[in-house]
Amino acid sequence: MPSRTSPFSPAPGPAAANPAPVVDLDTGGVIALQPAVRGENLSSVLQAIPHVTGTETRMPLLLPLPSAVVIGGSAALAPLHEALRVRGRRPPEVILLVRGDFARIERRTLLTGLTGLRAVGYLTAIGDLGAGHVPLDLLADAAPYLAALSPALMAEVPRDRRRAALAESLSALARGLGVHMLAPAVAGEAQLAAVRSWGVRLALGPLLVPGPSGRVHVPLPVVEREPAAAPLGPRVQDFLLPAVTLPCEATAEEAVAAFGGEPSITSVVLVDEYQRPRASLDRGRFLLAIASRFGHALHARRPAARLAAPARVVPRSTPAIAAMRTAGHDPARVYDDLVVTDEMGRCIGIVRVSDLIRHVASGAR
């Protein structure tokens, strides 16, 4: 079967420690990395973080987090915050996937903890849908960025038609709530075809790990299914991808390292101390300036902001059509990524203009 190929360089070390790429099935690009966590407790997560936070990559992280840690409040979460800070990771670059059963009486505490994590700037996610103890109305109350199907449920797809129907209905529910759905543990092309038929865009699993060449091969769909149209039209948050961010004072050399981690990184957002976007670096223009004659000597140790352009900011509730108009205001930057902000003006991700164009084109057919 034909496939898209995305270059990806795993961290050095034993294969068991290599992070798993989260793949965008529409583009074949890697948008985040999930470390290999051996265990169900916070200490296992903390031990896995160094494998994907070295200088070799600045890709956003997808970290599984036991629900008990979130329920435990600030004190329980402090080691995680510190581990990420030491490794130079900012909250908008991290998706915290909350997993594990919790008692009904702990629901309010869990929601409070998730709200606090979002306030800090983390992207939150709810895992184990379909097999774990996750009340469906929690998705409405928690308003996560992402939801993940249970690996146990995915293991039965597509052999078990009933479980496949359950997974499809959960995907439709997430889409209706404006939540991205992630399909984990994708091990075969039949599973991948089922995932695509549900309208799920993000996936990870053995089928999507880098091969000996270090590249991720994504089998192309045989037949595309028309996506369900949203009643009021899509908003930019429906196309949101994690942003790669650097502080405003970062040097051009640091930006080069960020772009060098993964070819699918199309932009780096420069943010202030409050995570508000101040400027953005387009991959093509920035690397062209660095690669020009004397470019590295002139720019490497100087602020990257000198080569940046003002961030093109859109609130997350902006309709996709309006965002495309924003993109068209400057003919020289039509295809630059749009920076999406929350109600406080903080960067929560990016939207690629090509994704907006693809959606509008598919709706016009």
CA distances from 301 to 241, 249, 265, 266, 340 (A): 29, 11, 22, 22, 29
Exposed / middle / buried, residue 309 (Cβ in 10 Å: 0-12, 13-18, 19+): middle
Mean predicted lDDT score pLDDT of the chain: 87
- 8-216 CATH choice from 3.20.20.450, 3.40.630.40, 1.10.3720.10, 3.40.1260.10: 3.20.20.450
Which pLDDT score, from 0 to 100, does residue 231 have?
46
Phi and psi torsions of 246, nearest 5°:
-140, 155
Does residue 172 contact residue 138 with C-beta atoms inside 8 Å? no
Q: Which of 118-132, 228-242, 245-259 has the lowest mean pLDDT?
A: 228-242
* pLDDT band with cut points at 50, 70 and 90 for residue 248: very high
Determine which helix (DSSP H) or strand (DSSP E) holds 115, and give its type and residue range.
helix 107-120
Average pLDDT over residues 332-345: 92
Which pLDDT score, from 0 to 100, does residue 257 have?
93
Q: Which of 103-112, 170-179, 192-201, 230-239 has the lowest mean pLDDT?
A: 230-239
* Interval 307-328: pLDDT, tens: 999 999 999 989 988 899 888 8
- Coil, strand or helix: which one is 121? coil
* Interval 148-173: pLDDT, tens: 999 999 999 988 999 999 999 999 99
Name the class of domain 238-364: alpha beta
* Interval 210-225: pLDDT, tens: 877 778 888 877 654 5
Q: Tell how far CA 313 is from the center of its chain.
A: 18
Please tell me the chain's helix, strand, coil percentages from 3-state DSSP, rounded to the nearest 5.
40, 20, 40
Per CATH, 8-216 and 238-364 having the same topology is answered no
Does residue 182 contact residue 203 with C-beta atoms inside 8 Å? yes
Higher pLDDT, 133 or 203: 203
Which pLDDT score, from 0 to 100, does residue 170 have?
96
Average pLDDT over residues 53-82: 86
The count of other CB atoms within 10 Å of the CB of residue 116 is 15
Which pLDDT score, from 0 to 100, does residue 15 have?
39
CA distances from 110 to 41, 92, 126, 145, 283 (A): 16, 20, 11, 16, 39
Whole-model pTM: value is 0.74
Average pLDDT over residues 261-290: 93
Closest CA to 127 of 71, 66, 42, 55: 66
Average pLDDT over residues 22-35: 91
Does residue 244 contact residue 93 with C-beta atoms inside 8 Å? yes
Does residue 99 contact residue 67 with C-beta atoms inside 8 Å? yes
* Domain boundaries of the chain, sorted by first residue: 8-216, 238-364
Pairing of strands 30-34, 277-282: unpaired
Does residue 270 contact residue 13 with C-beta atoms inside 8 Å? no
Find residue 268's DSSP bridge partners.
281
